[in-house]
Amino acid sequence: MADITMPKMGFDMTEGTIVRWLKKVGDFVNKGEAVAEIETDKVTIEIESFVSGTLSEIVSPAGSRTPVGGVIARTSDGAGATHAAPVVAVAPVAPVAAPVVAAAPVAPAAAPVAAVAAGDVKASPIAKRMAREHGLDLGTIHGSGPQGRIVRDDVSAAMAGRPAGVAAPVAPAAPVAPVAPAAPVAPALPSAVAGSTVVPLSNMRRTITRRLTQSWQTAPHFYITMDVNMDAALTLRKQINAPLSKEQQISINDMIVKACGVALVAYPNLNASFVEEGIQLNPSINVSIAVALDSGLVAPVVTNADSRSLGGVSRESKRLIGLARDGKLGAENLQGGTFTVSNLGMYGVTEFDAIITPPQCAILAVGAVRRIPVFKGDSNDVVAANICSITISADHRITDGAEGAKFVGEIKRLLENPLSMLI
């Protein structure tokens, strides 16, 4: 027997949904042949078998959700040999006999916590130390960190009797378990009104809900808006695009992504992440571009946006947007973003505030380019100009208003002097 498990397709993926089975029990499956189609929070993809054999059991039927590493089907080969390795179509995940859930046997409170922490439970060093000092079993604590990792706030929540992952000030530790009243519980969601239509959340919408709620509740946002005169950028764009086919032409968004990539070199704090140990300055500048789909929002990543040419940024953006609209984005296209650009200008939006995508530090919201009257320099002469409002949303734990203003000012300078981005 060989297990086919739910693969891990992204850094923060915790579960996947079986969209449909491409094979039925009893079918022979060749090595490399697709057996099922799964939906993650970001993509829909087929998974393949790594061995040839007969599909002997479907554990997770179509429509069911399965945690990462959970068994979704089993195969047996014609020779009756046993395959110990998981049969998945992506990078192998650690073999798991069953998902690690709270229903697993819980050790007595007096049992050493270190033995649990050293096993299947992922926890930060600080979380392990806190659990050990207060006699907590890490196996009973839900982790809110990356890939379910237990962090300090999760242990603090367990000590105070709160649900894991709910942030609250950490009180000084007492020699015994705290007996303070439990923290207020978030109000329950209202029930559906009789006669209304309830649309179940897709994996993508469920993840958007979870991550942006987390961002809004944990990252103190601040916002800075500036108007950018786009006359020079539009003129340069027209000159560049003149000899090019429509498929090759650069867009305003391409110029904005390139400007962000260059500006982030000078302001690394805006290309950072807030982690348990402090502020993590990311080594690469990878700009996520928000793409709206009927099913939700995806943000494929233009890697190394600082070092790519303007044409290179444009070609990569077009490729990623095409994959997104065709439903063919892979996990590798969605991982590693360190900054995001969200452009609603095509909808006539003048300006807006965006929510930061964790674990990033900032997101740039771009409005429409609009032709309006402005004063020319210091004179009283009024002329028409193409103005675009850009707004940065930034994490106040990592940066502050002055630095944010300088960063947005640098993007403005680059767009108003676009030839500097071509050097």
Q: Enumerate the H helices of 47-182 as residue ranges.
A: 114-117, 125-133, 152-160
Q: Are 68 and 16 contacting, i.e. CB atoms less than 8 angstroms apart?
A: yes
b/e map of 286-311 (b: 16 or more CB within 10 Å)?
bbbbbbeeeebbbbbbbbebbebebe
CA distances from 17 to 45, 62, 283 (A): 11, 8, 33
Burial class from Cβ neighbours inside 10 Å (0-12, 13-18, 19+) for residue 153 reads buried
Contact status, residue 329 vs residue 43, Cβ threshold 8 Å: yes
Q: Which of 83, 134, 142, 396 is catalytic?
A: 396
* Contact partners, residue 415, CB within 8 Å, separation at least 6: 228, 230, 232, 233, 255, 256, 259, 388
Single-letter amino acid, residue 176: V
Structure tokens at 393: 């949303």
The answer to whether residues 69 and 93 touch, using CB atoms and an 8 Å cutoff, is yes
**How far apart (Å, rounded) are the C-alpha atoms in residues 78 and 61?**
24
396 is an active site residue: yes
Look up tokens 């997101």; give the residue: 363
What is the residue type of 179?
A: V
Residue 219 carries which side chain, given as an amino acid letter?
A
Residues annotated as catalytic (active site), given as ranges: 396
